[in-house]
Amino acid sequence: MKALGPILAVVAAIITLWYAAAVPMNIQEVLTQAERGGAVVDPEGAMTRRDVSRFALVLRNTEHLSESWSMERARLPAPHQVVKELWVSTWDEEVNGRRGIVKSGSLSNRSLIYHGSITLGATIIGFLIGSGLGILLAVGIVHSKTMDMSVMPWAIVSQTIPIVALAPMIIVVLYSIGVEGLLPKAVISAYLSFFPVVVGMVKGLRSPDAMQTDLLRTYGASKPQALWKLRLPASVPYLFASLKIGIAASLVGAIVGELPVQRGGLGARMLGGSYYGQTEQLWAALFFAAALAAILVWLIGWIERRTLRRMGVTP
Amino acid sequence: MTQAPVISAAHLDLTFQTNDGPVHALRDVSLDIAKGEFVSFIGPSGCGKTTFLRCIAGLEEPTGGTLTVNGMTPDQARRSRAYGYVFQAAGLYPWRTIGGNVRLPLEIMRFSKEEQAERVKRTLELVDLAGFEKKFPWQLSGGMQQRASIARALAFDADILLMDEPFGALDEIVRDHLNEELLKLWDRTGKTIGFVTHSIPEAVYLSTKIVVMSPRPGRITDVIESTLPRERPLDIRDSAEFIAIAHRVRDGLRAGHIDD
């Protein structure tokens, strides 16, 4: 494990930077609280301090900084506060909480596991729809010049629209025809994840060289035979590269789809935390989502390795 | 021989339209190949030897003249699976075993499962790869991969075998060995072989007929009927007869070059 040292160094650097940043970020609230507790702060009065730069405040009040990393509703909570919140809102809530799975038999609606599972459901369904659609579109694009020219530009345009602007419209439109709940979020997920799959699969399906396609011509192979025996197997490595991007995009889509609805999910948790100044909750939800994405991408990588080994492509 | 030729080309022309103007890949190429012949096409790059082979295979469309394969147009011949084609690179599918690769044309041509298994076994034995059926291409050397690709071309028992510089990428020792094997295979199967090469010894050693071609425009400058016996040990290459034929081939190639 020669790589372990550098990896730990990077992690340590990030954590150090985070702790350091928390001091100027929280200085206003720290000083206000200290002043309320009877300490003498320079300058006096929260209103006056508002016009003084954060760094100047830090330098002029070094003796009052002890609270910087333990503020409630800190502007930037310290890493250990976020870790604690992660623990409290996952294990602690489910195992010890009144509404947790141990005592009530169902996941607590205050736990990230509950919200994460809601997001995960929408992510998986959106990913399946998106990648399925992407593969079908790619097959069409490779086989038909007309589809290549008519679908590809729209697929590209679709990705230039900011999803946060589009997501509420999708939800409203689907709601008006009676579709709500999981499906609108899955649609947004699919919308984000089909594109990398289309691009990767088109490239993969076109990856066999002229010699390979000539060989099939000498056998008088039909187009479906060429697709099944040559193009699809040849595209597998490309497909997996796209699926990794696609599943991460799916998760983002599901989270964005939860923002305007506020009926559970990591997106709802994040927006709730942001509304009510529950920054620890916000950050914990963020990290939970990141971990979920990492697991999903790793899972695709694992399936990829197994598939390629089974195909015999790699030792 | 009174038999009709298996491959017959008469005044064949092929002109590619490129941005730099037309390129005459083939001009006025006439040639008859009888059943069971081993015909080599030799010439510098750009002389149209590969293009001619691709025309026979129906992979290129001539722009003039007539060409028949087994009395059909090349396209009909291709559809009736008249020939097996071996490319310069083995081009085995990395996701299929050696057996799976040889099975590929059989699957496409919808042979029965039993027949597929039987033919894979037989053709792998023919190219000395028995026992390698379950191996994947990356587990085999370049020479063995090329032998597997020959087995793939033989698997469906076409009468004609077209080979486009099949041993061009291999080192000389492997190449000598495969040349010897190929002659034995030809002897055993009685196939008609069209073989593109740029090696004079290879052409002389293998062929019953050597077609010398030259570029710009691609055309035939000489057709040499080999006087060597059918039985050819590798050391025949030191015989006076062999050297005389090689000399004539070299002269033909040089004559083509002076035209430039």
What CATH code is carried by the domain that includes residue B244? Answer: 3.40.50.300
Split into its structural domains, chain B has a count of 2
Q: Would you place residue B181 in the very low, low, confident or very high pLDDT band (cuts 50, 70, 90)? A: confident
Do B75 and B131 belong to one domain? no
Residues A313, B78: C-beta atoms closer than 8 Å: no
B50 & B95 share domain: no
Which amino acid, one-letter code, is at B53? L
**Whether residue B238 sits in one domain with residue B111:** no
Q: What are phi and psi of A266, to 5 degrees?
A: -60, -35
Is A67 in the same domain as A166? no
pLDDT-derived band at B1 (thresholds 50, 70, 90) equals very low
In a domain, B142, yes or no: yes
Q: Do A229 and B108 touch (CB under 8 A)?
A: yes
Residue with tokens 């602007």: A165
Question: Residue B155 and residue A219: Cα distance in Å, rounded?
Answer: 11
CB atoms within 10 A of CB A277: 13
- Sole residue written with tokens 């985070």: A18
Total domains in chain A come to 2
pLDDT at A124: 96
> Least CB-CB distance to B91: which of A215, A233, A236?
A215
In this complex, which of A220, A230, A315 lies closest to B79 when CB atoms are compared? A220
B177 occurs within a structural domain: yes
Q: Are residues A228 and A169 in the same domain?
A: yes
**B227 shares its domain with B203:** yes
What is the domain range of residue B76? 7-82+159-258
The domain boundary, picked from B157, B183, B212, lies at: B157
The gap from C-alpha B2 to its chain's centroid, in whole angstroms, comes to 24
Residues A72 and A135 in one domain: no
In a domain, B2, yes or no: no
Shared domain check, A180 and A242: yes
pLDDT at B93: 92
**Structural domain contains residue B1:** no
Question: Is B124 part of a structural domain of the chain?
Answer: yes
Is residue A48 in a domain? yes
Q: Say if residue B13's pLDDT is above 50.
A: yes
Q: In terms of domains, do B137 and B182 share one?
A: no
Mutate to test the interface with B, among A216, A217, A218 (most CBs of B within 10 A): A218
- Is residue B168 one of the residues assigned to a domain? yes
For residues B228 and B215, membership in a common domain is answered with yes
Q: Is residue A81 domain-resident?
A: no
Q: How confident is the model at residue B260 (pLDDT cuts 50, 70, 90)?
A: very low
- The answer to whether residues B143 and B169 belong to one domain is no
Residue A228 maps to which CATH number?
1.10.3720.10
Residue B180 domain-assigned (yes or no): yes
Contact B91 A313 (CB under 8 A): no
Nearest-angstrom CA–CA distance, B69 and B246: 29
- Considering A14, A49, A76, which residue would you say is the last residue of a domain? A76
- Cβ–Cβ of B109/A229 closer than 8 Å? no
Q: Token pair 């090329």 is at which residue?
A: B146
Domain ends where: A76, A102, A131? Answer: A76
Which tens digit of pLDDT belongs to each residue from B17-49? 888 888 888 888 889 999 889 999 998 888 888
B174 has pLDDT over 70: yes
If asked whether residues B73 and B177 sit together in one domain, one would say yes
Report the DSSP pairing between strands B160-164 and B83-86.
Answer: parallel
The pLDDT assigned to A306 comes to 93
Q: A-chain residues within 8 Å CB-CB of B58? A: 217
Same domain, B123 and B12: no
Tell me the per-residue pLDDT of A167-216, one tens digit each, with 9 for 90 and over.
Answer: 989 999 999 998 888 899 999 999 999 999 999 999 999 999 999 999 99
**The domain containing residue A23 runs over which residues?**
4-76
State residue B219 phi and psi, 5-degree precision. -155, 165
Using the beta-carbon criterion (under 8 Å), do B87 and A211 form an inter-chain contact?
Answer: yes
B81–A233 CB contact, under 8 Å: no
Q: What is the pLDDT of residue A186?
A: 93
Domain end point (choices A76, A103, A120): A76
pLDDT, tens digit (0-9, with 9 covering 90-100), for B3-12: 778 898 888 8
- What are residue A128's phi and psi, to 5 degrees? -65, -45
Q: Quick one: B169 and B254 in the same domain?
A: yes
Provide the percentage of residues in chain B whose pLDDT is more than 90. 32
The answer to whether B136 contacts chain A (CB < 8 Å) is yes
Same domain, A48 and A135: no
Has residue B204 got a pLDDT over 80? yes
- At A288, phi and psi to the nearest 5? -60, -45
The mean pLDDT of chain B is: 88
Position B35 in a domain? yes
Q: Are residues A297 and A200 in the same domain?
A: yes
**Whether the predicted pLDDT of B163 surpasses 80:** yes
Residues A59, A125, single domain; the answer is no
Low-confidence ranges of chain A (pLDDT < 70): 315
Average pLDDT over residues B108-135: 91
**Final residue of a structural domain among B119, B139, B157:** B157
Q: Residue B258: pLDDT above 80?
A: no
- Sheet order of strands, B192-197 included: B83-86, B160-164, B192-197, B38-42, B209-214, B219-225
Residues A16 and A151 in one domain: no
- B146 lies in the same domain as B245: no
Please tell me whether residues A117 and A31 are part of one structural domain: no
The verdict on A146 and A285 lying in the same domain is: yes
pLDDT averaged over chain A? 91
The CA distance from A152 to A198, in Å, is 9
Do residues B109 and B149 both lie within one domain?
Answer: yes
